[in-house]
Amino acid sequence: MPIDRREFLAVTGRFGLASTLFPGALYTLAAQAAPEANAQATATSEATAPELPKITPEMIDQAAALAGITIAPEYRQAMLDGLNQQRSSYAEIRKLHLPNGVAPAFVFDPLPPGATVNSQREKPIYSKAPATLTAPANLEDLAFESAMNLADLLRRRKISSTNLTEMYLARLKRYDPILHFGITLTEERARNQAREADADIARGHYRGPLHGLPWGAKDLLAVKGYPTTWGAGGFEHQVIDEDATVVQRLDAAGAILIAKLTLGALAMGDKWYGGRTRNPWNPKQGSSGSSAGPASATSAGCIAFSIGSETLGSISSPSTRCGVTGLRPTFGFVPRTGAMALSWTMDKLGPICRAVEDCAAVVEAIYGPDSRDLSVRDAAFNWNADLDWKSLRIGYLKSTFDPDQPSPPEKPAPANETAEQKKQREQRERQREMFRARRAYDRKYDLAALDKLHAMGVDLIPLDLPKLPFGAMVPLLTAEAAAAFDELTTTGRDKLLTEQGPEDWPNAFRVARFYPAVEYIQANRARSLAIREISKLFEKADVIVTSTNSEQLVVTNLTGHPACIVPNGLRGDDAPAPPAVDTGDDDQIGGPGTPVSLTFLGGHYLDAKLCAFARAYQQATGFEKLHPKLP
């Protein structure tokens, strides 16, 4: 079944409450027992956690009940001193007020035992731009052109970076009131960079395919002199006095930063403190998230390319919704220094563009160690547009293309069901039926992609995901996120966040307090098994084709494998109607005239090979050339 990220958070929240909760449960129970005056933390950055009472035998009983374990009475008293002493250590650590950018003293490695990577860098080989490409009379006719074609026009001085920058700035201002994708325009910085790019190119100092191209940053990347809001209430005026490594590297490549773009608050969904970012194909819908602004602005032809991030679908989902191409690199390929941390073992930065080769050019500029993000490996990204993709072994995840299994039958309505309960039950049934109808309709596009691959001469190798409890590993994300934003919870500042529902971050952070260290480590051990088993699939195939909205999205984010998400056509007029209101709870709401996508997966640090095949599919289909019709 398709995977919805908000639903996963809800499921994993319930998982957390059902596991061995002992340390977190005790802490939370003690907090609830604190005097009311202390428990009401103020919503200021100076607020401190309440002073907690000592743990009692009764609290141990309550925590054990939550954890589903039994502790004999003769052991409870012996535990008290150690538990109270252990809890006191929490307060000492909190006094450090650890900034979000301080990583834990461990580094996640996605490679299975015995794996090696190629660190020998080679000069990238890009495709040649069409010989007929010329500058139009109206520069705005280039708004939806690929980054590589724009680069060729800039290199040949058929257009100027200054004029291109002004054109995109004007479009950002024109469409932001409709799509709500912008947080901060970096106009002065951009104009200075554009003038410098034009002067360099005129002198023959061409830095490469990104030189002079305007781009947008997801507003979790620090940019010196500008706010970095993380899309969240309470952080609107936050300024971080450095440029993120990715920003520095794009500056060095000559790219022009023109905007900081929206993300769902603290990287969840498409709703930020200023509203909901919209889908250019249907502005009644959100753009999905959390790389909401980068996908929307790229799709709307308001930037040449953008940088997003993914922890659990945040490049994949908005790229699908907005009909653009996204590359989620191998974990540890691109340094995250200067980016908001959500999960140190799952966060990845990557490009959102109009075409695969655009993504390759961006990764070429931003990948590699920076000495600060210790997760980044010295591995090579050797782009070769001329790679013989027909020599690659191509697999496909068969189960993601199979019809969905029938849903279990509904439980009979209770005899004492009220009118309101009946109305809610019938509404849930209608929603499930519409979901099934949308999924069945979208499956036609998945199957058409397999037919197209066969027509290209690809001999697809059927593969399946191993049977492991992947969903039970996702609480690793929420535990790390709760640690990254610990002070929001302990000071009460979490009330400043826009969204406060059961599936939103404030509640997820509170639930994560119940996730114990032992279970966190056990889930990581299970994750090691997942890495080994998924890596075995890439012993059978170089690239794997899969339906985008399937279990693989969770699996490969856990294992750190790269993914390239490409447009795969538009839904027809006969598509099932989308919900009347986009609540943000369903990533696949569809509707006539909206995009669908296909995903390609690759082996660890073999992102260039992955992109070469994804580009071949784009060349055979041309779906990346479709763009929304905006007023």
Q: How confident is the model at residue 44 (pLDDT cuts 50, 70, 90)?
A: very low
Q: What is the pLDDT of residue 50?
A: 57
Candidate from 117-131, 184-198, 448-462 with smallest mean pLDDT: 117-131
Burial of 141 (0-12, 13-18, 19+ CB in 10 A): exposed
Residue-level pLDDT at 94: 84
Please report which confidence band the pLDDT of residue 9 belongs to, taking 50, 70 and 90 as the band edges.
Answer: very low
pLDDT higher than 80, residue 39: no
> 546 pLDDT exceeds 60?
yes
Q: Give 125-154 as a DSSP string.
A: BPPPPPTT----SSGGGGTTS-HHHHHHHH
| C-alpha to C-alpha distances, 560 to 557, 572, 608, nearest whole angstrom | 5, 35, 15
pLDDT band at 156 (very low <50, low <70, confident <90, very high): very high
Distance CA 515, CA 512 (A): 5
Q: Which amino acid is at 208?
A: G
For residue 16, what pLDDT is reported? 33
* Count of C-beta atoms within a 10 Å radius of residue 241: 7
Measured torsion, CA atoms of residues 229, 232, 238, 242, in degrees rounded to the nearest 10:
-40
Residues 334, 363: Cα–Cα separation, whole Å: 8
Identity at 412, one-letter amino acid code: P
Q: E-assigned strands of 408-500?
A: 461-463
- Give the pLDDT confidence score for residue 516 in this predicted structure: 84
| Alpha carbons 288 and 316: distance in angstroms, whole number | 10
Binned at pLDDT 50, 70 and 90, residue 374 comes out as: very high
Token pair belonging to 591: 């509707």
Residue (of 496, 500, 494, 499) closest to 481 by Cα position: 494
Q: Are 294 and 307 in contact (CB under 8 A)?
A: yes
Residue with token string 């999924």: 439
pLDDT of 58 strictly over 90: no
pLDDT band at 74; cut points 50, 70, 90: confident
Which tokens go with 254?
A: 């000559």
Residues 519 and 525: beta-carbon distance below 8 Å:
no
Q: So where are the chain's domains?
A: 5-97+471-523, 142-395+542-625
Q: Is the pLDDT of residue 270 over 90?
A: yes
pLDDT of residue 68: 72
The pLDDT tens digits of the residues spanning 314-340 come to 999 999 999 999 999 999 999 999 999
Tell me if 500 sits within 8 A of 265, measured CB to CB: no
Q: Would you say residue 41 has pLDDT above 50?
A: no
In this predicted structure, the answer to whether residue 46 has a pLDDT above a threshold of 80 is no
pLDDT value for 415:
84
Residue 412: CB atoms within 10 A of its CB come to 7
> Which pLDDT score, from 0 to 100, does residue 327 have?
99
Mean pLDDT value across residues 196-213 = 98
What mean pLDDT do residues 429-452 have?
A: 93
Single-letter amino acid, residue 506: P
Task: Name the one residue in this structure whose structure tokens are 């547009």.
Answer: 385
pLDDT at 43 over 50: no
Q: How confident is the model at residue 28 (pLDDT cuts 50, 70, 90)?
A: low
Q: What does pTM read for this prediction?
A: 0.90
Average pLDDT over residues 104-127: 96
Mean pLDDT of 517-535: 95
Fold entry, domain 142-395+542-625? Amidase signature (AS) enzymes (3.90.1300)
Residue 14, pLDDT above cutoff 80: no
pLDDT band (50, 70, 90) for residue 580: confident
- The mean predicted confidence, pLDDT, of the chain is 90
Distance CA(50)–CA(53), nearest Å, equals 10
Q: What is the model's pLDDT at position 211?
A: 98
pLDDT attached to residue 26: 56
- Residue 32 makes CB contacts below 8 A (sequence gap 6+) with 39
CB 516 within 8 Å of CB 120: no
DSSP state of 227: B
Res. 421 pLDDT band, cuts 50 70 90? confident
Residue with tokens 């697809």: 460
Closest CA to 343 of 261, 267, 290: 267
pLDDT at 551: 96
Q: Which residues are catalytically annotated?
A: 218, 290, 314
DSSP SS3 for 543 = strand
Of 412-421, 439-448, 613-622, the one with minimum mean pLDDT is 412-421
Question: Which range, of 5-19, 298-312, 362-376, averages the lowest pLDDT?
Answer: 5-19
Instruction: State yes or no: pLDDT of 177 exceeds 50.
Output: yes
Question: What is the rounded average pLDDT of the residues 266-292?
Answer: 97
pLDDT value at residue 35: 40
Containing H/E element for 615? helix 607-621
319 prior amide bond cis, ω within 30: no
What average pLDDT does the segment 224-243 reach? 97
At residue 596, the 3 state secondary structure works out as strand
Cα 451 to its chain centre, rounded Å, is 29
Pairing relationship of beta strands 348-353 and 325-328 according to DSSP bridges: antiparallel
Specify the range with the lowest mean pLDDT, choosing from 370-379, 463-472, 495-504.
495-504
- What percent of the chain is predicted at pLDDT more than 90? 74
Percent of the chain past pLDDT 70, that is, above it, reads: 91
